[in-house]
Structure 1
């Protein structure tokens, strides 16, 4: 049970770390909004959207491949390839300067933008269905539920922490070195998960 929780936590952490539109938006709103209450709409929306995607991925993918060995194996292989590629791309990526507008949004606009970059983001869909969903195939019953909850917990912790980070160090990291470090750590976690999936194919 503990191993499933740790696996889910590390996998979700590795997937959510890279700097993308969703993370930049949450980070920027945390840095720009004048008070904590004003940044809650974007944090809650991003967290709820991730919860929805992860839940659909785990239960949806499981329902499709239940009892179909070749589909399960194919999805696991695809997950390995995707993780290896994303790890490589993330390792080489550099923080962009124009990924999200540094504008103080109203609560309604925060919700709309956060929902769109979460639910309509191809990378988010691939992360949840292509990686978390297929990785969940290695578990069943209670362990699958623990794995899923652990992944969801990462999203909630991450977005709240990102807003805090935006408030505290948003103006201090002009060189982008902090984001580069996060990307390196994320890539290593992705490669480690790919190795785990390779062994689960045996």
Structure 2
């Protein structure tokens, strides 16, 4: 059981560590809001990933793969969301960054909503995490599936916490203007991922 848990843990890290819109958003929260405010993003992302992994464990991946047109809908929705978040980051100003650093100004509801959006409306998270982890869980012995699932879930929570804490530690070395430039770089990264999703959409429709 222990070996199965660590196998799930390694697979979870392998899927979650590569840079993506979700990771960029959580890192930016740690950088702009600091701790413990960034924990709201960690909790939201962790809960969303847990939901997706559990859905994969109960076989939702097979259902998702079999629904015609669902992949294209997810690609359009994900691209639209990333374009919105990317443009918002590019339009940020120094004053906005200074206000974001104030715990009284940070909107917990806004952080939870944006984190959930980046997590649940991310086509790669749904198609890759649900389908890949779901298929891997299904390949395990029945007695080992719970441990494997728990290992994959643990990887998500640990990684999101590491991102937020690491960003919060860097925060003290960055001025509001430098954090502004990071925000703009984050915006460009999100627009880049939006472009990739639209490219995939174009290939699917060709």
* CA distance in 1: counterparts of 2:53 and 2:20, whole angstroms: 18
Query: How big is the alpha-carbon RMSD for the aligned residues of Structure 1 and Structure 2?
Result: 2.8
Q: 1:149 Cα shift?
A: 0.5
Q: 1:6 Cα shift?
A: 1.6
Unaligned runs of 5+ in 2: 64-85, 101-105, 175-206
Alignment of 1:1-202 (within 5 A): 1-36=1-36, 38-61=37-60, 101=89, 104=100, 105-169=106-170
Contact 2:61 2:130 (C-alpha < 8 Å) held by counterparts? no
Aligned residues: 141
Unaligned runs of 5+ in 1: 65-97, 173-202
TM-score by length of 2: 0.61
* CA distance in 2: counterparts of 1:139 and 1:6, whole angstroms: 13
* CA distance in 2: counterparts of 1:49 and 1:143, whole angstroms: 23
* CA distance in 1: counterparts of 2:147 and 2:108, whole angstroms: 33
Q: 1:128 Cα shift?
A: 1.8
1:80-139 CA deviation, whole Å, 9 max, x = no partner? xxxxxxxxxxxxxxxxxx698376352111000000011110010122222101111211
TM-score by length of 1: 0.62
